[in-house]
C-alpha cells in the first residue's frame, strides 16, 4: 500500500499485464495496467514517482527487476541487474530523498517456497543511483529480505527478514553503503514480518503474514501487539510446517477463517498521516484503523500526480 497527501491510495495489481490499483477518497477503485501483453509484470512492491509514474518490483516466476509504468501504460526496464547479475524475482522497491532506488530480493532459491525456512540466508538489499540499471548489493546473506525503510535523518536502514523472523538495522553511509548490522528485535512463533513503516516517534510498525498481526516495535526493541486476526488451527499447522522445514506455498495461500487476508503492508495516510491502511495478499478490500501517532511522510507524499489527479474528482 502507498498513500498520498491527496487522499489517493495505491496498491499493486497482477491483472492482465500488471500495474497498479488506484483507490479514490470516495472509495472507488480503478486499474492502471500495462498495455503490452507480451511484457507482463507481477508487481509486488511499488513506488510512486512524480507525474503519476510508478516503479514496479517484478516478482516473476524466474526473473525480476525494477520496471517503470508510464501514464500511458508503457512498461520499461529501469534496474535489471545487481552486481552484474540479472535480478532474481524482486520483492520490494522504494526511493529515498536523493532519488536512489532501494531494492530487496527475498531469496535466490527457486522455487521461492524452498526458502520458507528459519535458515534462510540468500536474500539481499541492493541500491541503484539515479540512471543506473545495475544496482550495487549493499547487504547480503539476509533471511528472506522483505520491506525496508530508509531513514536518512538518522542515517539508518531498517529491513524485515521474514523467515529469519527478525527486524534488522544497518548504519547508512553517505554513499549508500550499509554497515554495523544489528538485530533490533526477533519475533515469536506465529509472526512472519513482512510490511514495514515508521512513525514520527521512530517506532517501526510491522505487519505479519499468516497470523495477520500488526506489531509496533519501539526504538529499544520492545514489541507491542496492536492487532491480531488469526485462525489458531491454521496458525498451528503453519507453525508445525515451519518448525519441520516443510513450510510451502499453501501456507501462504490462506489464513484460514479470518477477516484479514494475509496482512502484507501498512501505509500511514489521511490528513494527518494517522490512519493506518493495511495491504494484503489475498483479500479484495483495504482495511484501516486510526492511530495516535503520525507516520513519517514518504518521499512521494506531496509528489505532483499528473494524470492521477483525474481520479480525485472526475471519475
pLDDT in tens, 179-204: 999 999 999 999 999 999 999 999 99
The DSSP 8-state label assigned to residue 199 in this structure reads B
Model confidence at 39, pLDDT cuts 50, 70, 90, reads confident
Q: What CA–CA distance (Å, rounded) separates 304 from 309?
A: 9
> In this structure, are residues 93 and 102 in contact, taking their beta carbons and an 8 Å threshold?
yes
User: pLDDT (tens digit, 9 = 90+) per residue, 6-17?
Assistant: 999 999 999 999
Question: φ and ψ at 175, to 5 degrees?
Answer: -90, 5
What's the mean pLDDT when you consider all of the chain? 96
CA dist 91 and 66 (Å) reads 10
Chain segment 222-239, per-residue pLDDT in tens: 999 999 999 999 999 999
CB atoms within 10 A of CB 66: 26
Domains and CATH numbers, the chain: 2-310 (2.120.10.30)
pLDDT digits (tens, 9 = 90+) for 237-253: 999 999 999 999 999 99
Query: Torsion over CA of 27, 32, 37 and 38, rounded to 10 degrees?
Result: -130
CA triple 251-255-260, angle to 5 deg: 145
What phi and psi values does residue 171 have, to the nearest 5 degrees?
-75, 140
Taking the C-alpha atoms of residue 233 and residue 247, their distance in angstroms, rounded to an integer, is 15
Cα 152 versus chain centre, distance: 18
Q: Report which secondary-structure segment, H or E, holds 241.
A: helix 232-243
Q: What share of the chain is helix, strand, coil (3-state, %, to 5)?
A: 10, 45, 45
Q: Which band of pLDDT confidence, cut at 50, 70 and 90, is reported for residue 312? A: confident
Which cell numbers in the block locate residue 208?
505479519
Residue whose entry in the numeric block shows the C-alpha cell 494527518: 272
Q: Which of 70, 90, 96 is nearest to 137 (CA)?
A: 90
The reported pTM is 0.97
| Distance between CA atoms of residues 72 and 75, nearest Å | 9
Amino acid at each position: 500500500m502507498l498513500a498520498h497527501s491527496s487522499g489517493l491510495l495505491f496498491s499493486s495489481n497482477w491483472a492482465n499485464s500488471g500495474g497498479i490499483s488506484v483507490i479514490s477518497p470516495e472509495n472507488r477503485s480503478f486499474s492502471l495496467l500495462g498495455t503490452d501483453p507480451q511484457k507482463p509484470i507481477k508487481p509486488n512492491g511499488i513506488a510512486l514517482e512524480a507525474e503519476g509514474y510508478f516503479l514496479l518490483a517484478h516478482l516473476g516466476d524466474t526473473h525480476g527487476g525494477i520496471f517503470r509504468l508510464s501514464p500511458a501504460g508503457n512498461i520499461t526496464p529501469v534496474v535489471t541487474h545487481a552486481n552484474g547479475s540479472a535480478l532474481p524475482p524482486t520483492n520490494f522497491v522504494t526511493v529515498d530523498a536523493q532519488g536512489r532506488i532501494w531494492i530487496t530480493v527475498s531469496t535466490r532459491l527457486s522455487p521461492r517456497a524452498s526458502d520458507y525456512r528459519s535458515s534462510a540466508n540468500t536474500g539481499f538489499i541492493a541500491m541503484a543511483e539515479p540512471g543506473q540499471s545495475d544496482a550495487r548489493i549493499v547487504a547480503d546473506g539476509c533471511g528472506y529480505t522483505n520491506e525496508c525503510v530508509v531513514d536518512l535523518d538518522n542515517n539508518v536502514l531498517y529491513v524485515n527478514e521474514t523467515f529469519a523472523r527478525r527486524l534488522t538495522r544497518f548504519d547508512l553511509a553517505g554513499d549508500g553503503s550499509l554497515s554495523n548490522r544489528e538485530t533490533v528485535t526477533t519475533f515469536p512463533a506465529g509472526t512472519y514480518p513482512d510490511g514495514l513503516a515508521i512513525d514520527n516517534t521512530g517506532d517501526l510498525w510491522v505487519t505479519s503474514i499468516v497470523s495477520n498481526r500488526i506489531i509496533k516495535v519501539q526504538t529499544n526493541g520492545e514489541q507491542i501487539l496492536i492487532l491480531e486476526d488469526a485462525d489458531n488451527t491454521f496458525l498451528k499447522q503453519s507453525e508445525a510446517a515451519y518448525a519441520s522445514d516443510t513450510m510451502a506455498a499453501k501456507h501462504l495461500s490462506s489464513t484460514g477463517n479470518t477477516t484479514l487476508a494475509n496482512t502484507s503492508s501498512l501505509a500511514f495516510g489521511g490528513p494527518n498521516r494517522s490512519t493506518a491502511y493495511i495491504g494484503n495478499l489475498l483479500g479484495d478490500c483495504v482495511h484501516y484503523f486510526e492511530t495516535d501517532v503520525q507516520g513519517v511522510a514518504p518521499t512521494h507524499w506531496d509528489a505532483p500526480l499528473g494524470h492521477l489527479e483525474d481520479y480525485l474528482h472526475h471519475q
